[in-house]
Structure 1
Amino acid sequence: MPSRKKAEANSHSAPVATPAITPAQLLVDAKNAERTPAARLYSAEQLVSHHLGSAEEKEVGALLPELREMVRKESIGKQWRYSSSIDDMTSKTSNVAYVSSSNTHEFDFPYAGAQHASLTLRKHPRHGNDVIFSIERGQLQCRSYDGCRIMVRFGDAEPRTYKAVGPEDNSSETLFIEGYADFTSRMKAVDIVRIQANTFRQGAPSWEFDVSGFNPDKMK
């Protein structure tokens, strides 16, 4: 009889293989309507990737477009963040909707490092309705007293010029775009909004925002 130490060594000498998921099981998982669309799509793509040419792979091929569309629709609007707070001076509600840019830009020193921009919609009981564009680091060329012009493109339409002003504290990372009603009306009709604003020594980079699925009911 082997010693205890030897028996323990033998028990760890060979790893236990995890049974591979068969093409048949992947097909069942991809068709299972009780699973989430993302989980079903993952199984379908695993089947296509690892069992190319199998009967199951051919069968699931017709299902892939439908699953991808289901996942796309399920994700619409999830990029938006909503919040509300009570204004101490009026006891009324302030509502904010925020989305981060899909792309990034990297500025020169001292603002180095890839950064996103943000697009914020705000309804405030005292300050009114605002469209706010901001970057993480850098200097937007837009003063509070004389303002500036920025370019905004809604979907595939021609770019439009909007007037903007900097904040009262003269911070350089934020600007307020005038024309809330016009801006939001056009935004709700498209999926992509691009904003181009001049920055100090960094040119006029264009920032792209996925605005699909915006829910105006959360701003009431």
Structure 2
Amino acid sequence: MKSAFLCMLFLVALGRSGFASEPTIINCQFDGHPPMIMSIRGGQGANDNTLQIGDAEPVELTIGSGMTSAEFNGKLYFINSDSVVIGDDSFAGGCGDNIGRDWYKGIAAGPWVYGAHIDEMRGKVTNYASVDSSDRLDFQFPYQGGATPSLFVRWNDGLEIFVKVDKGQFRCDEDRDSTIYVKFDAGQIQTVRCSEASDGIRNVIFLDFRPDFWMDLKYSQIMTMEVSFFGEGPRQFKFNVGRLDLKKLH
């Protein structure tokens, strides 16, 4: 697990080598400690990577061939994918929302969380921003228990936007329901074309690119969506989209 974690950090720096002024942020949380934020710039062996613990000033983060470490308040911190060792004590936790896998979330700036998807096979890093809706959707069996919509914006050879729910199935069929309704703040209702994910999963839909749509997304505070779900009909939910920083995605 440790070697995979170090490989992930190396690949982050490799994929960001042309954008050193915009570091990749990796957010970590360990038992009994404030959030730890790793800012990866130069990667392994570089002296411009930093670790911020809570609200304290960032300190230098060392990414070596066998460990990731930093000195804070006179103590050495050794950071692994599933624990941090401080002195003689080890504390469980991890970095990202799927520990040991390839999605790593970052620090929130406003409502948005910035992170990176690591393709270890190809050495490619895809940067993204995400925000969860404060609205919970109640569905019938087998998706009962409440579902949370999430909005993602990413740079994948161009800007892409998609919506995901942790339960339920979107209805976005080219022959019938290929549009959704969107409103920014108190503006006019917009009709936006949607499409299914290429792998056929039903809990993700992509929104078609329109320059005016991106401008509204960047400069608005609230985005309201109305989307149809299989067996449930149309549902509405909101996202707090203020302060989206598209520069962090390049």
Q: Contact conserved, 2:147 with 2:168, CA < 8 A, in 1?
A: no
Q: Which position in structure 2 is the counterpart of 1:96? A: 128
Question: What residue number does 1:12 align with?
Answer: none
Amino acid at match of 1:189: Y
CA contact (8 A) 1:144 1:170 kept: no
Return the index of the structure with the highest Cα Rg: 1
Identity rate of aligned residues, in percent?
26
Q: Deviations over 1:117-160 (max 9, x none)?
A: 011001113xx321101111111111478871000101100110
Match of 1:112 in 2: 144
Equivalent-residue separation in structure 2 for 1:214 and 1:173 (angstroms): 24
Unpaired segments of 5 or more residues in structure 2?
A: 1-54, 56-107
For the pair 1:152 / 2:182, whether they are aligned, the reply is yes
Q: C-alpha separation between the residues in 1 aligned to 2:199 and 2:249? A: 26
d(CA) in 1 for partners of 2:221 and 2:193? 22
> Quick check: which one's helix share is greater?
1
Q: Which residue number in structure 2 is paired with residue 212 of structure 1?
A: 242
Aligned partners of 1:192 and 1:211 also within 8 Å: yes
> What RMSD, in angstroms, separates the aligned Cα atoms of the two structures?
2.4
2:202 to 167, 172, 186: 172
Residue 80 (str. 1) matches residue 80 (str. 2): no
* Alignment: residue pair count: 144
Q: Specify which structure has the higher proportion of strand.
A: 2
For residues 127 and 177 of structure 2, the distance between their equivalents in structure 1, rounded to whole angstroms, comes to 25
State the Cα deviation string for residues 177-220 of structure 1 (Å, max 9, x = none): 00153322111121000111111121211110001121222112
Partner secondary structure for residue 187 of structure 1: helix
Give the match for residue 21 of structure 1.
none
- Structure 1: which 5+ runs fail to align? 1-35, 37-75
Local SS of the residue matching 1:198: strand
Q: What is the deviation of 1:93?
A: 3.8
**Quick check: 2:164–2:204 contact (8 Å CA) kept in 1?**
yes
**1:35-71: CA deviations, max 9, x gaps?**
x9xxxxxxxxxxxxxxxxxxxxxxxxxxxxxxxxxxx
SS across alignment from 1:184: helix
